[in-house]
Chain A
Amino acid sequence: MNPLRSLSVAATILLGLAGSSPRSCAQQQASSSDTAPPVTGIKTSTSGKPVSVSAETKSPSVAPSPAIADDRAMRIEGEKRFSTNCGRCHMAPHKFSPRIMATAVRHMRVRAMITDEDMRLILRYLTQ
């Protein structure tokens, strides 16, 4: 089969699948409710051929997976605990390597009597 033809068939199938998925329908409804027209972007593949990209794959409003959301929540919580606990005595240090921070946080856990939960969240925030 002609490579160009096979590529166009594959692109058509992909576009059709993308348009019929319930998630993209919901997102289209959401975007239409915001009165923003759906935009289709064009990006260039490594082979130099233009490939259509649907709007929802580029939209920043895509809901993150639960793992990413948990990670983000823990990082935010860690930053909050850091400023609340460590900021009582000194300003925030710039970030060191994870192994250095692990020692420093253990030291400060003993010195400043930080709770175990606070220590874990602060260490996670400082090392990621």
Chain B
Amino acid sequence: MFVSNTLGTAALRRAAWCATSRRPEATWLCCLANFRNPLMQRRLQLYDSIGLRAKALRAGLVITLGLLPCLLPRAAQGQSATRESSYPPIEAATDVQPVPLLSGSAGFITNFDAGEPHLAPIVSPVVLVPIRQRWLVESRGTFETDMVQQPGNSAFHGVVEKALDYAQLDFIANPHLTITVGRFLTPFGIYNERLYPVWIRNLQADPLILPIGIGPSDASNGAMLRGGFRASSQWNFNYTAYYSALTTASPVTSARLVGGRAGIFIPKARLEVGGSFQHLLQNERSNSFGFHAVWQPRSLPLDIRAETVRARRGSGYWIEPAYRLSQFPFWRNQMRRTQIVARMQQFFAGPLSVDELPDVDTRQFELGVNYYFLDGLKATSNYGRRFSGEGNKNVWTIGLTYRFIVPLGREGVE
């Protein structure tokens, strides 16, 4: 009784302070305080008499759950919350309003797959429309083709494939939570969401395990919660949780699934590690697990990225170190633009076969060289050797990729 009274008094004081300082947890704390309040107790007895107590408790629970994302990170952050507030708000820091953008990438990739040439031009426009301070509409489409020579004809022919990669509405609810609805890239691992665009990826070929965990057409239709925040002075925490509904309408197909991803980033060590989980709510109702890591040692211009996946459809891993030659003492201007990339990957076929995945166990090694003319213009080339039960083969790739940004409004400061 003493404890409950003490808690009630403390909650009342905290609620009053929060209400005066207009903090968002004021409502929740007022609810907590009122449950300890004698007046509220009498009200609950009255509700009991008319059968409304369950409704009142349910309403309190809903309010509590709704405000949980606001409360948990603050509690976890501790001192860092006060340190963050020492920086001015974004409006004060920049004093600019964002402008809608047409961005994206384009590339012209040529593959020689076991000696057969493939021409693969690709254009991926991205439209970004910021609305006020907290909203963002973003969408990406892809137009690509795989042109090959027909027998007896020297010309290259192919069909342009169109895809809507994502079309989502983001609401930045608070510094720790962003709510996304619509069609979004399935956040399983890091490759699909962060490394997929041709101007970002170091090697143009997809990893063998990429189709695992990202659903049909690499995207999901539904809702997602995500965010990242500083959990302590040493590391940041990021998370996503999502639900996708079954959609069979092409080209916006998706599977019925639920999943999430969590990771920590240690800025001092420049190390990010994380894990992904997904449960398929259709067909075989299987689980998929993934693990990813990104490391950039401070002493070297080296990036190391790696992913591993385990699922009933197959398992495997890839690891990709990329080294900039900026430390070489000669031809400095050319060397700092040159990057050497390697990727080792292995795939183990699962009991369930999928069209996008190899049918048998496969190993592949790739070695490539990239040259950055500008930050958004890159020449890429690589050689790969694939070893599998279906036969070994060489894969050569050369290409040029470009990233563009065009403002869809006045560019000047308002």
Q: Do A and B bind each other?
A: yes
A117 B84 Cβ-Cβ under 8 A = yes
List residues of chain B with CB within 8 A of the CB of A112.
194, 228
> Does any Cβ of A come within 8 Å of B414's Cβ?
yes
Option from B90, B100, B199, B403 in Cβ contact (under 8 Å) with A119: B90
* Min C-beta distance of B321 to chain A, whole Å: 14
A110 partner residues in chain B, CB cutoff 8 A: 136, 138, 170, 172, 178, 180, 226
**CB-contact partner of A99 in B98, B138, B240, under 8 A:** B98
If over half of B's interface residues share one DSSP class (helix, strand or loop), that class is named, otherwise mixed; here it is: mixed
Q: Tell me if A5 is interfacial: C-beta within 8 Å of chain B.
A: no
Report A112-125 CB contacts with B as 1/0, cut-off 8 Å.
Answer: 11111111110110
Q: In the assembled complex, how far is the CB of residue A87 from the closest CB belonging to chain B, in whole angstroms?
A: 7
A94-B375, A110-B178, A113-B238 known; A102+B87 contact, CB < 8 A: no
Residues of B within 8 A of A1 (CB): none
Q: A89-B195, A90-B199, A107-B128 are in contact. Are A96 and B138 (CB under 8 A)?
A: no
In the assembled complex, B229 has its CB within 8 A of some CB on chain A: yes
What 1/0 flags go to B222-235 for Cβ under 8 Å of A? 00001111100000
A106 near B98: Cβ-Cβ < 8 Å: yes
Residue in B100, B178, B193, B374 whose CB lies within 8 Å of A103: B100
Q: How large, as a class, is the contact surface on chain B?
A: 35 or more
Alpha-carbon gap, A99 to B98, bound state (A)? 5
Q: Which 9 A-B pairs give the minimum distances between C-beta atoms?
A: A116-B175, A113-B228, A102-B98, A103-B98, A113-B238, A99-B99, A98-B96, A124-B93, A97-B411
B residues touching A (Cβ–Cβ < 8 Å)? 84, 87-90, 93-94, 96-101, 103, 128, 130, 136, 138, 170, 172, 175-176, 178, 180, 193-195, 199-200, 226-230, 236, 238-240, 267, 270, 272, 294, 296, 303, 372, 374-376, 403, 405, 407, 409-414
Is A127 within 8 A of B94, CB to CB?
A: yes
Residue A92, interface by CB 8 Å: yes
Are the CB atoms of A116 and B136 closer together than 8 Å?
A: no
